[in-house]
Structure 1
Amino acid sequence: MAISYEIIQHIAVLSENDNGWKKELNLISWNNREAKYDLRDWSEDHQKMGKGLTLSKKEVVELKKALELIE
Structure 2
Amino acid sequence: MPEIKYEIIKEIGMLSENGKGWKKELNLISWNDREPKYDIRDWSEGHAKMGKGVTLTVEEIKELRDILNSLEL
Q: TM-score, normalised by structure 1?
A: 0.98
Are 1:8 and 2:46 an aligned pair? no
More helix by share: 2
- 2: CA distance, partners of 1:70 / 1:50: 27
Match of 1:24 in 2: 25
Deviations 1:36-69 (A, max 9, x none): 0000000011010000000000000000000001
Q: Which residue of 1 aligns with 2:67?
A: 66
> RMSD of the alignment, in Å?
0.5
Q: Supply the distance in 2 between the matched residues of 1:45 and 1:18 (Cα, whole angstroms).
A: 16
Q: Name the count of aligned residue pairs.
A: 71
Structure 2 runs not aligned, ≥5 long: none
> In the alignment, residue 29 of structure 1 is paired with which amino acid?
S
